[in-house]
Structure 1
Amino acid sequence: MTDDSGMVEQVLQATHYHALTGHTAMTFREMVKTIHPDKCKHPRAQDATNRLLEMFRHFTSGSSFTDDSGQFLTNDHWVLFQGDTQAITQARRNQLEIAAGATEHFKRYMPYSWDSDHSFLLFNRAVPLANLTLPQEHVNWVLSRLLEFCMQLHRRAGRAHLGLTPAHVMLVPETHGIAVAGFYHTAELAGKVSTISAAYRHWYPGQLLRDKMATEHADLEMVKRIGAYLLGDRSGLGTALRKTHHREFVDFLLSSDDDSLACYEKYREMLDRNFPSQFIHLNI
């Protein structure tokens, strides 16, 4: 059995409950008994106990987030929606219609399956972007995946998502992938936009709010707002990053694009000029 100090360090270093259980044969109760400050004299025994209890709570019950339908729970392996039933039904219908005609490559951006009318199971562990701040090197690939998703959605399905917000995109750390959900506002390109995300109204381009017509431009703007959000600018506008982050990257976030393919190519060229091509493990 792992000694007290070793178990304390394992708990403190673990990013999630599965990461911990993969390194020990002990049950949850055994781990708690091992590291509890009543027994363990490690100076951070209390911190480790609190951390273990929180990881176990998240794994068994999920954590609460809010999206355009209301509250939802996720433990990074499943998502359970608890909000507006009509909105959830619409989002599920839209996503299933898109997935039905998707190529295998396109389906990689929707790596989950609905197991009920209001919940889905993720194929791999996935973490919502909501409340996350990431280093530049990870924001780089997240935006690349999002722009790839937009290209597939626009070219393959002829639709705009219109709800790309931090609650509707999840990171898949093990594969450097993303899982896109929240298809509440999806509309055919050049078609009428009936709804938008009220909480992120300021992320939409003025032209969409005025004309109420679905465009590639709207999705691309929201992807860039996510980029600014992940770098620490919670407004998503990006101007606050000018003095603190990579100039050309921020210039990209502040630029305007109408075509997802051209935007993706511009983005990749910018990355190639300014950042090394490397795989960096995302430890979350």
Structure 2
Amino acid sequence: MISEIEMIDRVMRATHFNELKQHNGSVLQFKDILKTIHPDKCKHPQAQEATNRLLAMHRHFTDGSPYTDDSGEFLTNDFWVKYRGEEFVIAAAKQKQQQVMAGAGAHLKRYMPYVWDSDRSLLLDQRAIPLVNLTLPQEHVNWVVSRLLEFCMLLHRQLGMAHLGLTPAHVMLVPETHGIAVAGFYHAVALDSRVSTISAAYRHWYPGSLLDSKKATENADLEMVKRVGAYLLGDRSGLGNALIRTHHREFVDFLLGADDDSLSCYEKYREMLDKNFRSQFIHLNI
């Protein structure tokens, strides 16, 4: 048996409900956890707070939480994604992602750690959290941007394609491994081909050259990665100007600069990281 104090401590520390289910090789049931910590029976001063937290985690795990992307609403509990928006848009994204997966090398495939289990839903290999509304410390933004730049480099070099939809709803964190999962291939097209759709909600994230020429470029994906970096540091505009006086200057200069080649951009970024930041694995408790 787990004591009330221990169970409340576990609930308050847990980042997701699945983390609570396992205990010493046994599986704990939701009703048993709730019975242990509910304030009707438990007199611990944090009983109500822990109960509210448990109910929220269980609701998220069971039903998922709602987000919006370029197809409309989707639900995720961090282990699956269920799309509920425009059917033809979702179908196009699935077809394009599977095309990418079929031609991808092993390293690029690691950035798509999921399978389509229906026409409208994904099953994730590991817990993955959308970037929507997240703000992260500099040391974690460093590796997220690095992963995204590497994804772009591989997508551009191996398949000659541009993603064109690297927004917070289409990129998910895999916190346990410092990985990312990229979805939302709605706008993906061959490099140098005509662009017919973009993310309307993030129109200001695209470079003016793409909006003028309607031609897919490596620069467009690289600019969106930099917007994601600024967004995660707290600048919700994604433009990065608000970070000049508050964050690392060389990192912000990188976000504000322009790059046209994904390989040279990735190499420049890694060199900047090696020069200014310690190389270390810092656990992301999220």
TM-score in terms of structure 1 length: 0.99
| Structure-2 residue corresponding to 1:20 | 20
The question of 1:59 aligning with 2:51 is answered no
| Structure-2 residue corresponding to 1:4 | 4
Quote how far apart the aligned CAs of 1:206 are.
0.4
The answer on whether the counterparts of 2:37 and 2:51 sit within 8 Å (CA) in structure 1 is yes
For 1:158, give the aligned amino acid. Answer: G
Q: How many residues align?
A: 284
For 1:221, give the aligned amino acid. Answer: E
Structure 2 runs not aligned, ≥5 long:
none
For 2:192, give the aligned amino acid. Answer: A
Query: Aligned partners of 1:243, 1:108: CA distance in 2, in Å?
Result: 36
The answer on whether the counterparts of 2:65 and 2:77 sit within 8 Å (CA) in structure 1 is yes
Query: Aligned partners of 1:271, 1:171: CA distance in 2, in Å?
Result: 20
Cα-to-partner distance string for 1:48-92 (whole Å, 9 max, x where unaligned): 000000111111111100000000001111110000001001100
Quote how far apart the aligned CAs of 1:23 are.
3.2
| Structure-1 residue corresponding to 2:50 | 48
Cα-to-partner distance string for 1:187-226 (whole Å, 9 max, x where unaligned): 1100000000000000000000010000000000000000
| Structure-2 residue corresponding to 1:224 | 226
Structure 1 vs Structure 2 CA RMSD = 0.8
For 2:267, give the aligned amino acid. Answer: E
The question of 1:134 aligning with 2:136 is answered yes
SS at match of 1:66: strand
Correspondence for 1:107 among 106, 109, 114: 109
The runs of at least 4 aligned residues of structure 1 exceeding 6 Å deviation read none
The question of 1:206 aligning with 2:208 is answered yes
Quote how far apart the aligned CAs of 1:22 are.
2.4
Structure 1 runs not aligned, ≥5 long:
none
SS at match of 1:174: coil
| Structure-2 residue corresponding to 1:73 | 75
SS at match of 1:116: coil
Query: Aligned partners of 2:30, 2:39: CA distance in 1, in Å?
Result: 16
Quote how far apart the aligned CAs of 1:175 are.
1.5
SS at match of 1:175: coil
Query: Aligned partners of 1:189, 1:89: CA distance in 2, in Å?
Result: 21
| Structure-2 residue corresponding to 1:97 | 99
